[in-house]
């Protein structure tokens, strides 16, 4: 049994550990002691980092001893840009195509889910996938959605670019011949003027998200269950912390109530530092003023804490990340209101984060900051950062460094890389974003996923992107000169995220006095073949000394969750991320070959029905069948 102490005999001690993890290959992230074999934990904090003989005196009669069986242990991962609050409120309603290798498989799942979805509810596929990951290399068609679900509304979101709706979803959303196109979006129409089922972001994704907002939502009790299961899903990949980037359709305080109630009940399994995002254009300053007068960043505790404003401060200053469309030209003069918002935050001790995809946006924002720097407001000790920054220039990076800023990068080009490549060319794609240039300037560069509506929440897909420079289809986008080694990538998902929340002294490394946040991995991240990095999962995740996720030999050691509710939820039947286990390369290959054979047979049947080939192959001339 992996929880039985081998060679560690309980001793009478006044400072017995609550938990000991032994027989491990520990990567501590602590430059003073980078490697260890065992860790002891008491009251949610690490007390000893060493080897088995170092933790032995701290084993008491009630100490739980976990044998890592020689596996790799790393600090708990911290996603520095994750829409975890919004994702949790909707998780059990969503059919996840994260990790699904073929569109054929995705459509099978959708067809089955439509059959069990009750009248009035929608089937929604919202983020975590891209046409680039499918063997077919394409989106589902409207006809395929209509065939899979003739009566149940189906909404399939594809990146920030488009959505596909079946006939029933168009009706449920109220879209018809006379529905006007929203600003920045397009409802694609056929020859008869009726909507076809395709929605395009042109370039704003508002048409996509506002359509999704028409779907039914969960009751309060189910929101709690949904959030707990989503956090458990994140724990599955070794995540123990996340910085919530807020976002559209995430209003404060109502949409934050669920995580607040879970925190009060001690039921969070992931530490969350959250941001506040003004939702209504024209009302941003009023919202920010109200918030700064009633709270300060750092309010809360180690599990749930306010971290600042953003990722938008004013709507007019936000660019769009739809690489299928040209870069948007932001309105002239947005700086006036933007400057007021930044000044307000800095004067009240608030930090902030800013969504900025393009260098053109970053340069304009920096000009405002430099104006305020002349008054002594930058650098003023407030934590602030740019998010995304795919096309940030060297000159802008120098200006960010001079103003005391940081950067948070995400693997959006894992999913949108080919669209970016087609629009901006290989030179721009090689530097999108210029991670090495950021690090060389000494900037804090944290990493995240930007899940759940575009990228997957699986952090190992993002770590693979950082290390390999490849998208989900294996296409190399960033050359070796703009990649990082595995240790650096892991630091971007641990230490750097802790720095963005001011917790670098207690989080992101495994050393005495730090939070006992760690993961026992299914495969050794430092030695597994590079293509297998996305398939790593955690077998045992510990947050604050609590076992919050356990599987394989450790199954049953984690905390019990209530059943997924409602019972027809896609998560109840398929779970979340659909990846196969690492180390099963042969099984994965066989599965893909089987899918290819099936697809080939379906294609042959299609040709037969159209008279293009005979119904049965002629084997009379095949020497293998000639006696």
Q: How far apart are CA 548 and CA 391, in angstroms?
A: 38
185 assigned to some structural domain: yes
For residues 188 and 227, state if they share a domain.
Answer: no
For residues 205 and 281, state if they share a domain.
Answer: no
Provide the pLDDT confidence category of residue 507 given band limits of 50, 70 and 90: very high
| Predicted pLDDT at 7 | 57
Please check whether residue 163 is in contact with residue 202, taking contact to mean a CB–CB distance below 8 angstroms.
no
Closest by Cα among 173, 231, 217 to 197: 173
- The whole domain housing 200 covers 91-213
Phi, psi dihedrals of residue 604, rounded to the nearest 5°: -65, -40
For residues 324 and 426, state if they share a domain.
Answer: yes
For residues 313 and 196, state if they share a domain.
Answer: no
582 assigned to some structural domain: no
| Predicted pLDDT at 579 | 75
63 assigned to some structural domain: no
| Predicted pLDDT at 609 | 59
For residues 262 and 196, state if they share a domain.
Answer: no
For residues 501 and 425, state if they share a domain.
Answer: yes
Rounded (10°) angle between helices 103-116 and 585-609 = 80
For residues 207 and 226, state if they share a domain.
Answer: no
78 assigned to some structural domain: no
Peptide bond before 240: cis, by omega within 30 degrees of 0?
no
Asked if the model's pLDDT at residue 627 lies above 80, the reply is no
pLDDT one-digit tens code per residue, 26-59: 999 999 999 999 999 999 999 999 999 999 999 9
Asked if the model's pLDDT at residue 588 lies above 70, the reply is no
Q: How far apart are CA 324 and CA 130, in angstroms?
A: 13
Please check whether residue 322 is in contact with residue 453, taking contact to mean a CB–CB distance below 8 angstroms.
no
In percent, how much of the chain has pLDDT > 90? 85
Provide the pLDDT confidence category of residue 494 given band limits of 50, 70 and 90: very high
Cα distances (angstroms) measured from residue 504 to each of 30, 383, 435, 460, 491: 11, 13, 21, 22, 11
241 assigned to some structural domain: yes
pLDDT one-digit tens code per residue, 334-376: 999 999 999 999 999 999 999 999 999 999 999 999 999 999 9
Please check whether residue 166 is in contact with residue 140, taking contact to mean a CB–CB distance below 8 angstroms.
no
Domain-ending residue, one of 508, 543, 571:
508
Closest by Cα among 162, 125, 228 to 574: 125
CATH code of residue 419: 3.20.20.140
Query: Is the whole model's pTM more than 0.85, yes or no?
Result: yes
For residues 162 and 247, state if they share a domain.
Answer: no
For residues 313 and 255, state if they share a domain.
Answer: yes
- By residue count, the chain amounts to 627
Q: Locate 313 and state its tokens.
A: 């401060």
For residues 358 and 209, state if they share a domain.
Answer: no
| Predicted pLDDT at 614 | 56
Please check whether residue 295 is in contact with residue 253, taking contact to mean a CB–CB distance below 8 angstroms.
no
Average pLDDT value over all residues in the chain: 92
352 assigned to some structural domain: yes
Phi, psi dihedrals of residue 408, rounded to the nearest 5°: -120, 120
Domain-ending residue, one of 462, 479, 508:
508
Provide the pLDDT confidence category of residue 203 given band limits of 50, 70 and 90: confident
Domain-ending residue, one of 508, 530, 560:
508
Please check whether residue 277 is in contact with residue 86, taking contact to mean a CB–CB distance below 8 angstroms.
no
Provide the pLDDT confidence category of residue 619 given band limits of 50, 70 and 90: very low
Q: How far apart are CA 241 and CA 86, in angstroms?
A: 16
In a 10 Å sphere around its CB, with 0-12 CB exposed, 13-18 middle and 19+ buried, how is residue 570 labelled?
A: buried
pLDDT one-digit tens code per residue, 302-333: 999 999 999 999 999 999 888 999 998 999 99
Provide the pLDDT confidence category of residue 593 given band limits of 50, 70 and 90: very low
For the sheet with 195-201, list strands across it. Answer: 123-126, 154-158, 162-165, 195-201, 185-189
Mean pLDDT of 451-464: 96
For residues 342 and 248, state if they share a domain.
Answer: yes
For residues 282 and 178, state if they share a domain.
Answer: no
Mean pLDDT of 527-543: 98
CATH code of residue 112: 3.10.310.70
199 assigned to some structural domain: yes
Please check whether residue 117 is in contact with residue 123, taking contact to mean a CB–CB distance below 8 angstroms.
yes
Asked if the model's pLDDT at residue 134 lies above 80, the reply is yes
| Predicted pLDDT at 626 | 35
What's the structural domain count of the chain?
2
Tell me 533's DSSP state: G
254 assigned to some structural domain: yes
């Amino acid at each position: 049994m992996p929880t039985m102490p081998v060679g560690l005999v309980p001793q009478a001690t006044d400072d017995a550990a609550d938990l000991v993890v032994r027989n491990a290959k520990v990567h501590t992230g602590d430059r003073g002691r980078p490697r260890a074999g065992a860790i002891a934990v008491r009251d949610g904090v690490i007390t000893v980092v060493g080897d088995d003989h170092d933790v032995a005196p701290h084993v008491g009669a009630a100490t739980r001893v976990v044998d890592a069986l020689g596996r790799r242990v790393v600090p708990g991962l911290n996603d520095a840009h994750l829409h975890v609050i919004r994702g949790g409120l909707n998780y059990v309603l969503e059919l996840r195509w994260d990790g699904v290798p073929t569109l054929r498989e995705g459509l099978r799942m959708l067809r089955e889910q439509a059959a069990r979805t009750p009248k009035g509810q929608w089937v929604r596929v919202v983020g975590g996938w891209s046409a680039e990951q499918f063997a077919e290399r394409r989106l589902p068609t409207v006809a395929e959605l209509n065939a899979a679900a003739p009566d149940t509304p189906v909404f399939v979101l594809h990146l920030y670019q488009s959505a596909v709706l079946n006939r029933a979803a168009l009706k449920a959303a109220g879209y018809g011949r006379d529905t006007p196109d929203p600003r920045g979006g397009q409802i694609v129409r056929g020859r008869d003027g009726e909507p076809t089922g395709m929605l395009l972001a042109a370039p704003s994704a508002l048409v996509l998200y506002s359509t999704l907002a028409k779907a039914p939502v969960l009751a309060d009790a189910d929101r709690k269950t949904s959030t707990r299961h989503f956090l458990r899903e994140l724990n599955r990949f070794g995540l123990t912390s996340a910085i919530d980037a807020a976002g559209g359709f995430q209003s404060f305080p109502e949409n934050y109530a669920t995580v607040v109630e879970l925190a009060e009940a001690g039921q969070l399994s992931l530490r969350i530092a959250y941001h506040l995002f003004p939702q209504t254009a024209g009302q941003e300053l009023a919202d920010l003023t109200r918030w700064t007068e009633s709270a300060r960043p750092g309010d809360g505790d180690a599990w749930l804490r306010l971290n600042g404003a953003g990722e938008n401060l004013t709507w007019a200053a936000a660019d769009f990340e739809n690489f299928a469309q040209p870069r948007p030209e932001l309105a002239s003069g947005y700086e006036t209101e933007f400057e007021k918002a930044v000044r307000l935050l800095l004067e009240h001790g608030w930090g902030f984060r800013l969504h900025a995809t393009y260098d053109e946006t970053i340069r304009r924002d920096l000009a405002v900051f430099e104006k305020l720097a002349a008054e002594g407001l930058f650098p003023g000790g407030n934590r602030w950062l740019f998010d995304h920054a795919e096309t940030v220039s060297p000159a802008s990076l120098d200006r960010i460094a001079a103003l005391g800023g940081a950067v948070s990068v995400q693997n959006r080009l894992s999913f949108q890389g080919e669209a970016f490549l087609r629009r901006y060319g290989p030179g721009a794609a090689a530097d999108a974003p210029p991670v090495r240039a950021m690090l060389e300037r000494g900037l804090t560069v944290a990493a995240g996923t930007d899940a759940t509506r575009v990228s997957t929440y699986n952090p190992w897909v993002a770590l693979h992107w950082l290390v390999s420079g490849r998208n989900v289809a294996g296409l190399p986008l960033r050359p070796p000169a703009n990649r990082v080694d595995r240790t650096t990538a892991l630091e971007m998902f641990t230490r750097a995220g802790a720095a963005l929340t001011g917790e670098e002294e207690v989080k992101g490394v495994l050393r005495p006095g730090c939070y006992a946040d760690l993961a026992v991995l299914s495969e050794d991240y430092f030695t597994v073949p590079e293509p297998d990095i996305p398939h790593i999962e955690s077998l045992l995740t510990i947050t604050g000394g609590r076992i919050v996720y356990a599987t394989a030999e450790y199954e049953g050691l984690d905390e019990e969750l209530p059943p997924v509710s409602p019972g027809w939820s896609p998560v109840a039947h398929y779970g979340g991320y659909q990846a196969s286990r690492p180390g099963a390369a042969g099984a994965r290959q066989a599965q893909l070959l089987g899918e290819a054979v099936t697809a080939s047979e379906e294609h042959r049947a299609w040709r037969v029905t159209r008279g293009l080939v005979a119904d049965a192959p002629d084997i009379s001339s095949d020497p293998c069948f000639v006696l």
